[in-house]
Structure 1
């Protein structure tokens, strides 16, 4: 397996009433194929009995009809500290998407 060095974006933040997430996208090429992973962290910022839920996925051709290579839901409801940094791991694709909501 021949991998080119990975590069990662700077951390970005998503804020909603009662929750927050920060994330970064990382890219590498292995044997000529694009791979992507996302690293992210969740915060529950309001003691209201609700949790921050994140939907994370990796895909190809995000704007032209996705081909999803991996997806998962995560939840966090501790208002005293953020979640550990979570990672999707490397998957085929060229985009990492993170959506958050309160549940």
Structure 2
């Protein structure tokens, strides 16, 4: 029972990280779309002000990218843990619950 609960918890964690990754991708796509729209809207003085804002936005986007990469690394770790757990569970089932 404890093994099943841990397996379910790992699966839920894996699913949550997957959903978070999808949401971050959608947010990033939205940021890029707004950036493109604003770039087309502004000209002259407004464009230079926009460039300064875009540079700040780019720095923030870089931070978001770093966070996203960190989340992906954590997701990989969760995946490896889940795979190891599945292998251990399969081995235990094959042995009929007996220790080696």
More helix by share: 2
Instruction: State the TM bucket, normalised to the shorter chain.
Output: under 0.3
More strand by share: 1
Q: Which has the higher contact order (CA 8 A, sep 6+)?
A: 2
TM-score by length of 1: 0.22
Task: Mark the structure with the bigger radius of gyration.
Answer: 2
TM-score by length of 2: 0.22
